[in-house]
Structure 1
């Protein structure tokens, strides 16, 4: 599954930002806090869920202002770190990048840029570099790669902009945070339902689930008889391992090998496009914020910087299409725009050697090089919990299963020609669920590269239940419609969210500007 083939863009094209928005959402929904070595058998009863299985942005807000530390602490998250992550007035803290000398005589990169890094512990983090780099956010995983970190930062700005607007409307200070959180969460849910989900799941399935209700997962009481138990409106949602361990790992196949990142790091710039490993390196959890590019990423004390360097600030115009949001002035040339890879059974080869910080293993020896391979990790985790196979779940759900030919041959995905006849028969009979749902997308005749069948229903229904189970919910409030500015009245997309968060300003969406880098 992990190949050396070149990046292959999705068609129709899915902007690459949605890959990492999906990871941000995953960290809002799931967190396996179970202490077990890779490959060790774990029963479902032993699994420890460290995140509210609701789409409520608890990965952004933690326990809320005024609560102890305002974070999670322990295995479930940082804690909010020294000083917490809340700012006065119900706002959230941001951090500052640090100016560096590359390129020389280029002020946007040479100067500190307040507001463009996550808040970090700094001197309050103690004597170690790792401690001082610690991001002050509820979920440290959001600083495992740079696009997710900058996505989290965008949501901080989004919340703060909503607070500013409520303050302008003279909403009382005592009510301002709760009102802002409700607005942010509901617009976030609307964006996921109308903009994100239809890009990765068959649109017909999304519409069917959100208009007709769930058929398989936590079906409402009276919704479907038989083996699918009903839930009442007051029941807390759960997190099915079929989703967290398999179906929602769809985003791993969307990751590119390289990214057109900004004016400094692009194929038309002096340093070339950013390799995937750089997105890990320029973080405080998986990386060392560099600039010691030869340093060992497995050593949390390597590197010299304690904050994101200013030359690595994001150009969001290369990750999302703002033309569709009514801002053609924010378009970049096609050659500088990043599309996600097609959803299929292939992963780019850098994912065969993950940095250990990306799975919480930093500073410890790796017992087997295979443990660095993302595909291997996904398949091993499914085996640890004895997850149902794809064919088993298709039968259980009454969904037409893939044929043996579709499983073995696919459509331009992982080649299985090296398997023996016995191995091929075993794979058809017991296809791992993660591989199965990716193969479903790969051979999807209606919308190639989008989840369908087992995977499509799993993802759409868990999203529906996670929204329904949130304290603030557009499912339980079906008459609610977005009120914040958007290209289309009553709509709200991720580009709309970013435009609002960054005041519609090109210099905030792209702090390094455009054009050739000036000569030193």
Structure 2
């Protein structure tokens, strides 16, 4: 991994020229940081003929389908024991996908859309009432929407961990420093503010693994500052590394090789945006094709030396701070993640993400609630069905017997009403899990086309884009493992 050279600050881009204080005030008031919101990647499929039927029966059928998406079984195997549902990706990529989606999309409804009436679950007449509070680009908007260190304003503020409990055998993982928490507000009588992360969007603080990944980005910026870069240069360098990570590390792990090769060589065939002012967030991506973390999540993890075979839900951040006045001021040091268990950073093989399919691991009630949310969300947005989109792309769709054959036995009865018109999110997962196709290793042709074209286009129009003509990359490669190693350099300076 190479560090980019220092030098004079690059000239701020159009987005960066907006004052930081103005941006913070705009976000607090609910304004969007860009001039666009959401739209359809495939506008020709917006009509009723290409959607699920807006009938009460459809909602009941969606609820039945959600109920069977929970993975059956009472006791999950230990995280390091390979089981039938495991894929090949290191487990950390589950949370990179979730981090990426949170960084691209932070939805806000216009005031009139917030008041849902009796037709709350009828498809929206348009997407104009949905506003994206994120920039919509691969520019680490969620990271740089955090406070800077007041003692050294070129650096991002990182929180200090609290001492471990006396009865806990292990403290921080080896070589981990004290700066390994998100910056937090102090104790407060207001539950929503009590030791909450100091960021306008709290989603990355909902789960320990996701929060620790966010901390890694903050520390990576500070490591670049430690190499002698200015704030603007370090921000641009980290944004470009993030784009490289998404395009050349994550996408090859998610997309079908032939689709990705075609997009990288020739650019998008279906979604071309020539001007940044015409850019929007495709709902086919945000509400379907990039909603992959629920399928990839393990039911339990070996989180570090203290917490092994721990249920995913037990790693919710709120459980760490639930002790009220007697609880810690910040993340206790024995809750710092051991990345060796999630990425190939040591001799032992890391835990694996679950393969991509229509099953969601974990407590059945939680899995069903999550599936219900995403299925109803796709219906509410008026997403095209998987078959309509496949035909539009010139592909032979999964339908009837071929769709049912791609599903586990216990899902087939609930899927019968959707054999010819399948919710897009479910279709993309079924296509990925098809034993006659990708078999869970990566997305199928429909999901791959949406993800590859959308992320390529969003990267092209991002600040400091590595796809801009004439751009000279300042790194030869940058993977998720490289991010963690770069963040660890900051730990080395603080030890």
TM-score, normalising length from structure 2? 0.76
- Contact persistence 2:172–2:335 (CA under 8 A): no
Q: State the 1:406 CA deviation.
A: 2.6
- Contact persistence 2:298–2:362 (CA under 8 A): no
Which residue of structure 1 lines up, in the alignment, with residue 320 of structure 2?
289
Q: Are 1:143 and 2:195 matched, yes or no?
A: no
Corresponding residue to 1:279 among 307, 315, 332: 315
Matches within 5 A, 1:245-284: 245-266=287-308, 273-280=309-316, 283=317
- Show CA shifts across 1:51-80 (max 9, x none): 111111111112xxxxxxxx6xxxxxxxx6
Alpha carbons of 1:211 and 1:10: their partners in 2 closer, same or farther (altered >3 Å)? farther
Which residue of structure 2 lines up, in the alignment, with residue 241 of structure 1?
283
Which residue of structure 2 lines up, in the alignment, with residue 119 of structure 1?
183
Q: Are 1:453 and 2:445 matched, yes or no?
A: yes
Alpha carbons of 1:140 and 1:55: their partners in 2 closer, same or farther (altered >3 Å)? same
Q: Are 1:57 and 2:43 matched, yes or no?
A: no
Which residue of structure 2 lines up, in the alignment, with residue 305 of structure 1?
328
Corresponding residue to 1:497 among 459, 472, 483: 483
Q: State the 1:439 CA deviation.
A: 0.8
Unmatched tracts of structure 2, length 5 or more: 1-68, 78-82
Q: Are 1:387 and 2:389 matched, yes or no?
A: no
Q: Distance in 2 between matches of 1:481 and 1:395?
A: 38
Q: State the 1:99 CA deviation.
A: 1.7
- Contact persistence 1:444–1:452 (CA under 8 A): no
Which residue of structure 2 lines up, in the alignment, with residue 159 of structure 1?
221
Which residue of structure 1 lines up, in the alignment, with residue 70 of structure 2?
2
- Contact persistence 1:400–1:453 (CA under 8 A): no
CA root-mean-square deviation:
2.8
Alpha carbons of 1:107 and 1:188: their partners in 2 closer, same or farther (altered >3 Å)? closer
Q: State the 1:166 CA deviation.
A: 2.4
Q: Distance in 2 between matches of 1:136 and 1:473?
A: 28
- Contact persistence 2:108–2:133 (CA under 8 A): yes
- Contact persistence 2:169–2:306 (CA under 8 A): no
Which residue of structure 2 lines up, in the alignment, with residue 518 of structure 1?
none
Partner secondary structure for residue 48 of structure 1: strand
Q: Distance in 2 between matches of 1:253 and 1:183?
A: 32
- Contact persistence 2:219–2:490 (CA under 8 A): no
Q: Distance in 2 between matches of 1:86 and 1:55?
A: 26
Q: Distance in 2 between matches of 1:444 and 1:206?
A: 21
Partner secondary structure for residue 237 of structure 2: helix
Which residue of structure 1 lines up, in the alignment, with residue 466 of structure 2?
474
Partner secondary structure for residue 353 of structure 2: coil
Partner secondary structure for residue 259 of structure 2: helix
Which residue of structure 1 lines up, in the alignment, with residue 16 of structure 2?
none
Larger mean Cα displacement after TM superposition, 193-202 or 153-162:
193-202
Corresponding residue to 1:435 among 399, 408, 426: 426
Q: Distance in 2 between matches of 1:107 and 1:144?
A: 22
Partner secondary structure for residue 292 of structure 2: helix
- Contact persistence 2:428–2:446 (CA under 8 A): yes
Q: Distance in 1 between matches of 2:165 and 2:428?
A: 46
- Contact persistence 1:132–1:306 (CA under 8 A): no
Corresponding residue to 1:32 among 107, 115, 121: 107
- Contact persistence 1:96–1:115 (CA under 8 A): yes
Matches within 5 A, 1:302-451: 304-322=327-345, 330-332=346-348, 334=349, 337-350=350-363, 352-353=365-366, 373-410=369-406, 413=408, 415-419=410-414, 424=416, 426-443=417-434, 445=436, 447-449=438-440, 450-451=442-443
TM-score, normalising length from structure 1? 0.72
Partner secondary structure for residue 115 of structure 1: coil
Alpha carbons of 1:478 and 1:288: their partners in 2 closer, same or farther (altered >3 Å)? farther
- Show CA shifts across 1:440-492 (max 9, x none): 11116564321121111001111101101101101114653343xxxxxx222
- Contact persistence 1:346–1:414 (CA under 8 A): no
Alpha carbons of 1:45 and 1:414: their partners in 2 closer, same or farther (altered >3 Å)? farther
Q: Distance in 1 between matches of 2:474 and 2:86?
A: 29
Q: Distance in 2 between matches of 1:407 and 1:149?
A: 37
- Contact persistence 2:223–2:490 (CA under 8 A): no
Q: State the 1:129 CA deviation.
A: 4.6
Q: Distance in 1 between matches of 2:151 and 2:142?
A: 17
Q: Distance in 2 between matches of 1:506 and 1:13?
A: 31
Alpha carbons of 1:102 and 1:380: their partners in 2 closer, same or farther (altered >3 Å)? farther
- Contact persistence 1:291–1:303 (CA under 8 A): no
Larger mean Cα displacement after TM superposition, 199-208 or 497-506:
497-506
Partner secondary structure for residue 184 of structure 1: helix
Q: State the 1:41 CA deviation.
A: 4.8
Alpha carbons of 1:140 and 1:11: their partners in 2 closer, same or farther (altered >3 Å)? closer
